[in-house]
Amino acid sequence: MADTLSNLSRLWTIARTLGRNDALIPREYLAAMPVSLKLARRIFGGGRAAKSDNTAPGLRLARALENLGPAHIKLGQILATRPDIVGSDIASALEGLQDRLPSFPTNEARKVVVAAFGRPVEELFSSFGEPVAAASIAQVHEAMTAEDPPHRVAVKVLRPGVEAEFARDLSALAFAARIAETLFAEARRLRLTALVEILATSVALELDLRMEAAAASELAERTRNETDFRVPSIDWKRTAERVLTTEWIDGISVRDIDMLRAAGRDPKQIALTLMRTFLTQALREGFFHADLHPGNLFVDGEGCLVAVDFGIMGRLDPPMRRFMAETLAGFLARDYVRVAQVHYDANFVSHRHPVETFAQALRAIGEPIFGRPAQDVSMAKLLQQLFDTTRRFDMSAQPQLLLLQKTMVVVEGVARGLDPEFDIWEASRPVVERWMLDRLGPEARLREAAEGMGALGRVAQHLPQLLRNVEVVSTMLADGGLRLHPDTARQIAEAQLKGSRYARVALWLAAGALGVIAMVWIV
């Protein structure tokens, strides 16, 4: 009962805040609303929203989430990666949510460090400075380690009470989702409870800074041979669930083009490095930094591009990587039938649509971009148009690709900020072609053949034992029938006496399968 009252109270606060910003039931949809929703809109304050406010619905929602606090800012940022759920316009607006918040006192951060390690701060750090950056979940302090010689580090500390705040709001949202799915078919279609579960999982990972440390460590390992990109090293001795310590990056932000030039760095080369690094991570490694905004990118003293903040990462499994690479390669070659076939091979598009018709739709996307100036061509926009088109051909949403596309938007924007004439296609071509050659070329075919021969070799190693098994089974059949091993017979008997129906069936099927296999081998 107490939980229900708490959830209702929090939902009332959330609804009132959304209503006052005309973000709960936006006026743009007023004409299509039933009377009940119009009444609810007035109750929660939407009816008093300033008519002079011409802000788009998505921007009003972003403003409301900022007013609701850190937990809702982070939830909005997560929703920004899911245009399949909230729509492209809303997702684009939520991308602008500001994650720069007032810092909490340094003495509170020191208490978090003491609680995390059970030791005084002075035993870990010889100096622990004021916060240099503060976001919705954590803030960062510059510090020096208590070692000889000391190391300059960045210490990320979770906001006090942030876990409880997220737990409260997620509980309220889950409560609302369950009610909505009980009352409304549309809510069931949208699977709102599943959405809240996804948000809860994402938030739980981000609230455990050990997971962020692990993501940074994995990406560093995967890119250790890169000469123009690197990841800050993790100080595992000073990292815990609520504290993350990394190497301090003394570099120039990619935002500051004048400082980059003054340091002798070429912004055009940095843009090229960024795009190729991102695509290499996505296609070759299947593991990419999914939050590559300018605040997370620096150029160090050696001219190396350095990324920080690994709270949001993306993964592409091998089939999805192949799909993405072949799609991009097909557009680069203007081979729309091939791009269409890739979608069909992956079972992304319903086979009731002719391949030729889908290829025609893809041509309508690709052809307008060729022959245009480089600065007018957007790969991110092409991918968005591609996903919009595939929905019309019954393609279900692919969360892996959606996160990739959203990251592409950000990367493309940063690259264009560094080089307004950036040619995204020419920058991408070597990475895509290299991947195609490595995975689909003659050498790849030879590797596949070698792996196949290796598998055959492993089977051949067991062939003598298989032949001996066949001989035993043959002898048993000749002596009057197949006899089970005493242990197997005992397990079946025990299952009959006290096991479930499903366990009995499984064991008897297993026993029967042995007989069938034996017969096949004998034949």
What residues are annotated to the active site?
291
The two beta strands, 297-299 and 305-307, are: antiparallel
Distance of alpha carbon 497 from the chain centroid: 48
Are 395 and 371 contacting, i.e. CB atoms less than 8 angstroms apart?
Answer: no
CA angle in degrees (0–180, nearest 5) for 159-160-165: 90
Task: Determine how many CB atoms are found less than 10 A away from the CB of residue 510.
Answer: 12
Cα-only R_g, the chain? 29
Sign of the C-alpha dihedral computed for residues 217, 219, 222 and 223 taken in this order: negative
Task: Report the 10 Å Cβ neighbour count for 14.
Answer: 20
Strands 229-230 and 305-307: parallel
Structure tokens at 293: 């905004």
Quote the Cα angle for 124-125-130, to 5°: 135
Please report which residue ranges of 21-52 form alpha helices under DSSP H.
35-43
- CA–CA separation, 428 and 419 (whole Å): 15
Using alpha carbons, list the distances in angstroms from residue 244 to 27, 111, 115, 139, 451: 44, 14, 13, 10, 41
Say whether 487 sits in a helix, a strand or coil.
Answer: helix
Residue 199 in 3-state DSSP? Answer: helix
Closest CA to 331 of 342, 315, 320: 342
Q: Which residues of 247-269 are buried (b: 16+ CB within 10 A; e: fewer)?
A: bbbebbebeebeebeeeebebee
**Of 203, 204, 210, which Cα lies nearest the Cα of 239?**
210
Cα distance between residue 21 and residue 45, in whole Å:
8
Output phi, psi for 252, to 5 deg. Answer: -105, 130
DSSP letters, 188-242, are HHHTHHHHHHHHHHHHHHHH-HHHHHHHHHHHHHHTTT-SSEE-PPB-GGG--SS
Instruction: Read off the tokens for 116.
Output: 């995390």
Q: State the amino acid at position 14 in one-letter form.
A: I
